[in-house]
Structure 1
């Protein structure tokens, strides 16, 4: 079977993006080669970042204000953890765990896992966003919005982040997106390298400082001294 054309790939992404971007209309991208080329760039970066869920890795990030955060993932079993100042979110096929607070005062709430193939709702990461951590899912949505907006201004450059090559885009004037302007860098293997922009009214500025191809199993566990509230059906109260 022949590989899909650039236009076909873009239109498929356009159809899929309806779940990510409310109210964003799809463009007929064969009207201008320049639009196709620009869309290809951000589409490829979004697809690359989406595939990071197939990797085993832990990435440490420097946040604005000298704070730090970590994103960890494994494909088998499928698990992801987002650890940030004052909290963490853990997503496994057994449940989604949201932890708030530090030390003996922390509380972790466990809810049912996302449906197979689905992502957790954005509300799960609301606290992480307020603490300055943007997740790959959010960046995928922003890149998709830029690909669909023919008036968006997109510039590309390459760099090295934490010793890993990355492709970067500077995006401006995007409509119907959580951020109208942002800079994002994605490594060759699909990991979020850096992001800077205002998302939902919050200034976000993160940069990867360390990358590891192994993950400590403790990353996917609540803190040992946390109070656990299990809201899954059938859970003991």
Structure 2
């Protein structure tokens, strides 16, 4: 969504500013700091560009479970599906669905303001169920970059036929590995988040979206909490 681009760019700039003006450092320390900032900036820029794409990405979760992230433009819409739940953001509503047992139930709330992206708190349920969204991963990378004791190493891999840049992070807050494809799509993640072990890997990527992914589950019970139109 349009404002997301500005937000992520500001995030990357603020990280670089914070890292490059802090105290007196040795040449080696300065080199490591600049390297962290550049890496965060590059990955944030990739994720930033991906917000303007139309795509569907399927992910493999532990235990044979799966999750999906889908985006479309004109109008900007997104859908996040994980075991037992779904979050859909469209110009009409922000919709949270519980699909784990029996009949699905969905709650409709007001959509984000025009030109605004969903807040990171919207993705709490997805994160608890094993689906990390790009904004959450950006936050983890930023925290690691700001940790002077973190060790961050870069590598490359291929996921679902797509090249990806990976970072291995070792830090007191918890080690993790995250990969982002050249197009800016989250490729994989392994590590502990909020005390939970999270693992996911891209299994399929398509530059197209089935419009039905933004619809409510069939026969879902619906609670509409959107403000009444004036």
Give the TM-score of the pair, scaled to structure 2: 0.85
Which segment is superposed worse, 123-132 or 159-168?
A: 123-132
- CA 1:109/1:141 → structure 2, altered by over 3 Å: closer, same or farther? same
Cα deviation digits, residues 16-48 of structure 1 (max 9, x gap): 9xxxxxxxxx33358512210222012211221
Unaligned runs of 5+ in 1: 1-8, 17-25
Which of residues 176, 190, 209 in structure 1 aligns to 2:203? 209
The residue aligned with 2:76 is 78
**1:52 maps to what in 2?**
50
CA separation of 1:144 and 1:90: change in aligned 2, threshold 3 A: same
Change in 2 beyond 3 A, CA 1:44/1:174: farther
What's 2:187 paired with? 193
8 Å Cα contact 1:104-1:226 kept in structure 2:
no
Correspondent of 1:111 among 105, 109, 112:
109
> Considering only aligned residues, what root-mean-square deviation do their CA atoms show, in Å?
2.3
Q: How many residues align?
A: 215
From 209, 214, 224, the counterpart of 1:230: 224
Stretches of structure 2 lacking an aligned partner (at least 5 in a row): 1-9
Structure 1 partner of 2:95: 97
The answer on whether the counterparts of 2:86 and 2:99 sit within 8 Å (CA) in structure 1 is no
Q: How far 1:98 sits from its partner (Å)?
A: 0.2
Deviations 1:65-84 (A, max 9, x none): 11001100113211110011
For 2:35 and 2:94, the matched residues in 1 are separated by 38
Query: Does the alignment pair 1:28 with 2:25?
Result: no
Deviations 1:91-128 (A, max 9, x none): 11221100002475211101111223433234432222
Using the TM superposition, give the Cα deviation of residue 51 of structure 1 relative to its aligned residue in structure 2, in angstroms: 2.1
Other structure's SS at 1:105 match: coil
